[in-house]
Amino acid sequence: MDNKLTETGSSNRRVAAVPIWIKPYLTIEEAAEYTGIGRDKLYEMTSLADCPFVLWVGNRRMIKRRIFDEYIEQMYSI
């Protein structure tokens, strides 16, 4: 079974869309959808200097999904 979905891009060509649970890095919006945690809370969490699951790509924050999953598993509250 193929886990990749296809979407039609703006130029009517097929673009492979990788499911969120497979992606190694997530945007803040994807992480919010994936976890149910609000965008503002995710921005707050990733603003900390010692945040273990944020990857900065220029000014853009990416969430390291596997590390984020492990982090959330260990937390009692956020």
CATH of the domain at 31: 3.90.105.50
Q: Which domain, by its residues, includes 70?
A: 22-74
Residue ranges in the chain assigned as alpha helix (H): 28-35, 39-46, 65-74
Name residue 68's beta-bridge partners.
Answer: none
The reply to whether 40 falls in a domain is yes
Distance CA 33, CA 4 (A): 18
Residue 26 included in any domain: yes
- Is 43 contained in some domain? yes
44 within some domain = yes
Query: 62 with 55: CB under 8 angstroms?
Result: yes
Instruction: Give how many domains the chain has, as a whole number.
Output: 1
- Per-residue burial over 5-36, b if 16 or more Cβ lie within 10 Å, else e, is eeeeeeeeeeeeeeeeeeeebbbbeebbebbe
Query: Does the global pTM surpass 0.85?
Result: no
What tens digit of pLDDT does each residue of 38-76 get? 999 999 999 998 999 999 999 999 999 999 999 999 989
